[in-house]
């Protein structure tokens, strides 16, 4: 099966709102073996909705719309569908009671415009929305499926995972895919591809290998149907053995989440001394619930003076070697462990973009504990923002590989 995903909203076309909905929907379909034929954003315009609805019905088995289901006049999806299908509107009593309860529980008036939230085209089936007032809608037209979901991301995500996907399975429209993930870092896509070229050439047509490159890392995904599970597992092991020096995980979690869970498992703590990363590491690790169990704190010591005065780096090291040196990050690491009392520490210092004083764009990191410290130089190739990300990712990667992964 294949699908077309259509997001509705003028705000998407002008860049006021970023379309994350179609990416989420695509990921859910990918998990169950539904391929995506096309994704597009269109205006809040009845003729555009009809145009792309007709296009989707010709090209795809499933057409998913998001947006345009609110109570205001610019939300025209329901009325456009009803007119296109040549039907009237019907009220869903369960949705009506749900919407009424929401307004009454908040001491807000339940207006006629809100009552209309419970109405959908007569030929549609309600996808009950526990998360909001606008229900999703399901239509079956000449063997094709048309789904309409709210544009609010958390409402759409709930309906997609709890209503749409189970319904597709119940009707036996799709069979699950089987995926194996390999997460690598410190090696570029082309070098990685060369390392596993012979294995990739052996892959049968039923097994697909995808390269998913991003800052300082490349994730690999082996995919096929569940009846190819043993075959996929066999090639997974071959790639895993070949790339073992560069692998930090086998999920879709970030390197920061991997480190967080490893620290939790070992009941260990960590602290950061950040110069060029400017707090990036601290922000990344505190994204996870329970971070206070493993994270002591961070020193953002951007200036030379603060490295010495606040963190306690030896001024003579700075004077002799500069702050952009392995000697400096090593002493930052030492001082940080002494001050924080953490079990592990990461220190960063470097130049994240060319300056009038230096054309070099490089960073140094020190990772480890009181017994052992690993120091690395990172050559940077991105813009300022991406270089900060690359340094943070590389630091966590090297700490994981050296101290947590067997």
Q: What is the CA radius of gyration of the chain?
A: 27
- Strands 62-66 vs 2-8: parallel, antiparallel or unpaired: parallel
pLDDT digit string (tens) for 9-38?
999 999 999 999 999 999 999 888 788 999
By CB atoms closer than 10 A (0-12, 13-18, 19+), residue 306 is: middle
Residue 307 has pLDDT above 90, yes or no: yes
pTM attached to this predicted model: 0.72
Least confident of 103-112, 176-185, 376-385: 103-112
The set of residues, in sequence order, having a beta carbon less than 8 Å from that of 240 and lying 6+ positions away, is 182, 247
pLDDT digit string (tens) for 363-406?
999 999 999 999 999 999 889 999 999 999 999 999 999 999 86
- State the DSSP code for 293: G
């Amino acid at each position: 099966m294949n699908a077309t995903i259509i997001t509705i909203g003028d705000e998407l076309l002008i860049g006021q709102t970023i379309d994350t909905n179609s990416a989420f929907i695509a990921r859910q379909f990918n998990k169950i073996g539904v391929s995506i034929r096309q994704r597009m954003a269109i205006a809040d315009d009845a003729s555009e909705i009809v145009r792309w609805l007709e296009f989707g019905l010709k090209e795809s088995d499933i057409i998913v719309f998001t947006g345009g289901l609110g109570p205001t006049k610019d939300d025209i999806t329901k009325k456009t569908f009803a007119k296109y299908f040549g039907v009237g509107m019907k009220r869903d009593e369960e949705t009506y009671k749900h919407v009424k309860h929401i307004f009454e529980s908040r001491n807000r008036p339940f207006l006629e415009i809100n009552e209309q939230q419970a109405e959908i085209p007569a030929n549609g089936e309600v996808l009950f929305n526990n998360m909001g007032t606008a229900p999703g809608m399901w239509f079956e037209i000449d063997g094709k499926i048309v789904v309409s979901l709210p544009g609010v991301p958390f409402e759409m995500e709930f309906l997609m995972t709890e209503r749409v996907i189970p319904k597709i399975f119940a009707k036996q429209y799709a069979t699950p895919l089987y995926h194996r993930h390999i997460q690598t870092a410190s090696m570029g896509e082309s070098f990685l591809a060369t390392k596993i070229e012979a294995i990739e050439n052996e892959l049968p047509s039923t097994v697909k290998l995808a390269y998913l490159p991003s800052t300082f890392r490349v994730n690999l995904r082996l995919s096929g149907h569940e009846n190819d599970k043993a075959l996929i597992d066999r090639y997974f092991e071959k790639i895993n053995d070949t790339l073992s020096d560069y692998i930090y995980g086998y999920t879709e979690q970030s390197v920061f989440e991997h480190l967080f869970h490893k620290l939790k498992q070992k009941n260990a703590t960590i602290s950061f001394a950040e110069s060029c990363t400017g707090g990036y590491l601290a922000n990344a690790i505190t994204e996870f619930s329970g971070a206070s169990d493993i994270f002591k704190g961070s020193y953002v010591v951007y200036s030379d003076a603060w490295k010495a005065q606040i963190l306690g780096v030896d001024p003579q090291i700075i004077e002799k070697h500069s702050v952009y040196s392995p000697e400096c990050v090593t002493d930052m690491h030492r001082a940080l462990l002494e001050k924080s009392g953490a079990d592990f520490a990461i220190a960063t210092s470097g130049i994240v973009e060319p300056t009038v004083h230096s054309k070099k764009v490089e960073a140094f990191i020190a990772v480890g504990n009181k017994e052992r410290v690993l120091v690395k130089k990172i050559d940077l190739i991105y813009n300022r923002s991406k270089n900060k990300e690359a340094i943070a990712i590389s630091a966590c990667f090297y700490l994981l590989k050296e101290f947590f992964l067997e």
